[in-house]
Amino acid sequence: MPKSNNQKKFLELRKKFPWFSYEKFTWTLSEKGLEAEFQFDLSGVVTFRPRIFIPKKSWFLPSAETKELLPGILFRIGLIEMISYWKAACPPIVKVNPGTLGAEEIVWWKKVWYNGMGEFFYLNSIDNTIDDFITVQSVDNKPYYPVRADGKGIIVPVGGGKDSAVTLELLGSLPGTIPLIMNPRGATLQTIYKAGFKDEDYIEIHRTIDPELLRLNDQGYLNGHTPFSALLAFVTVLAAILSGRKFIALSNESSANETTIPGTSVNHQYSKSVEFEKDFREYIRRFVAPGIEYFSFLRPLNELQIARLFSGFEKYHGIFRSCNAGSKEDVWCGKCAKCLFTYIILSPFLPAEKMRLIFGKDLLEDAGLIPLLDQLTGRAEEKPFDCVGTISEVNLALFKTIRKHGGEKLPSLLEYYRKSPLYKSYCDKGFDEALTGFSDDHQIPSSLIPILTSALND
């Protein structure tokens, strides 16, 4: 992805807009559901008012304890939401007015903020450090003390791709399991329907971006990637509080830990990494709701293992979508890194005819995708800034797919790869070993581990 030299613009904007404030948050519980609005102020010049809405359904269980927990989690949803609006001008001072952040919390938030914006800083060529990029000022109000939330059941966030489909398929039949979708669309809804859930059976989150931010983007203010998965993490905790659930089962795999820029800490998937997961669990335990457990059910696995599992869940093959570019139309664009990666990682496990049927064409025949292939396989200086697997996983998948073709004429991308030095660096043994691994670096409750290991051994 091309970089922009926006260091000068960054410094000019910070001088023009010296502070950014989180002014307040308001919320109502009614027969409609939960409605919340957050108000941010950019140096007295622009006001932002993003909102979230959670419709009331049969799972909606607000109680006296719920009402005590809501201010604390909503306050912090505002904090994570704030990052998307702060980035337009990157003011050096951040004022937090509607609640108290102690010194430990400020350290936590600066880490999430800085690392979650690593891609933004890198692609904008912005030079700063975790110590100096912001100073957080928090008023001395009464803090929100957490109340223990003892619940049952599992929330499974569904994004419409293969990973969350695997988690939902394996955990969906357990008592109390409920899917969660933010801003529902075709693939997310079709996934839960195929898993046997109905409209009344899922948690529906509607997030509305203030159009003022889009206006600033059009005017040339700073823009770029923000840690969306961190926002989702806080929203799932809110959903757990409202629904009385104890567990939140994400679908982030071990591959999310690999940095996008080798030799740096820049990771497009930072808020999907095990580092963020551990930090977030501890933060929720200490400051929000100690009875809620956030973890990734697929963390012990790599992308090849997940692809093999997904290949056996045929009912999702025609409806899943992992393409960000085509998400609004619910299609595979066939031109982006996410499309190509998904095609490659599934190719060892599904017939070529089935792959063409899923994606609408054979992506491995598209020579125009060679630059993306070089990024995915490590021949380029950086991986794609997208949620893709590790360089090793991609190479192993390509190696195995070539072997699967036998003596047949290879599609152009596979022929290109076969002639590269990389092809000779991999072997069948490496592929087989990748399918048998199980990382110990995970936070899965012990009662759920046998479900995952049993699926792997089938």
Q: What is the DSSP string of 212-225?
A: HHHHHHHTT-----
Is 306 within the bounds of a domain?
A: no
pTM of the model as a whole: 0.95
| Residues 265, 177 share a domain | yes
Is 233 within the bounds of a domain?
A: yes
| Residues 147, 225 share a domain | yes
| Residues 332, 275 share a domain | no
| Residues 258, 187 share a domain | yes
pLDDT string in tens for the chain (458-residue length): 678 899 999 999 999 999 999 999 999 999 999 999 999 999 999 999 999 999 999 898 767 777 788 999 999 999 999 999 999 999 999 999 998 898 999 999 999 999 999 999 999 999 999 999 999 999 866 666 566 667 899 999 999 999 999 999 999 999 999 999 999 999 999 999 999 999 999 999 999 999 999 999 999 999 999 999 999 999 999 999 999 999 999 999 998 999 999 889 999 999 999 999 999 999 999 999 888 999 999 999 999 999 999 999 999 999 999 998 887 888 999 999 999 999 999 999 999 999 999 999 999 999 999 999 999 999 998 999 999 999 999 999 999 999 998 878 999 999 999 999 898 888 778 899 999 999 999 999 999 999 999 999 98
The pLDDT assigned to 78 comes to 97
**Structural domain boundaries, residue 182:** 7-296
Q: What whole-number distance in Å separates Cα of residue 40 and Cα of residue 182?
A: 22
DSSP output for 325-341: TTTTTTS--SSSHHHHH
Is 452 within the bounds of a domain?
A: no
Collapsed DSSP state (helix, strand, coil) of residue 39 = strand
| Residues 161, 78 share a domain | yes
| Residues 60, 208 share a domain | yes
| Residues 243, 357 share a domain | no
Give how many domains the chain has, as a whole number: 2
Is 454 within the bounds of a domain?
A: no
310: phi > 0 → left, psi -120 to 50 → alpha, else beta; which?
A: alpha
Question: Own/partner pairs for 428-431, CB < 8 Å, 24+ apart?
Answer: 428/400, 428/403, 430/396, 430/399, 431/304, 431/348, 431/396, 431/399, 431/400
Is 213 within the bounds of a domain?
A: yes
Is 384 within the bounds of a domain?
A: yes
| Residues 112, 235 share a domain | yes
The pLDDT assigned to 425 comes to 86
Point out the domain boundary residue: 239, 273, 296.
Answer: 296
| Residues 353, 289 share a domain | no
| Residues 393, 247 share a domain | no
Contact 75, 144 (CB under 8 A): yes
Contact 283, 231 (CB under 8 A): no
| Residues 183, 74 share a domain | yes
| Residues 277, 366 share a domain | no
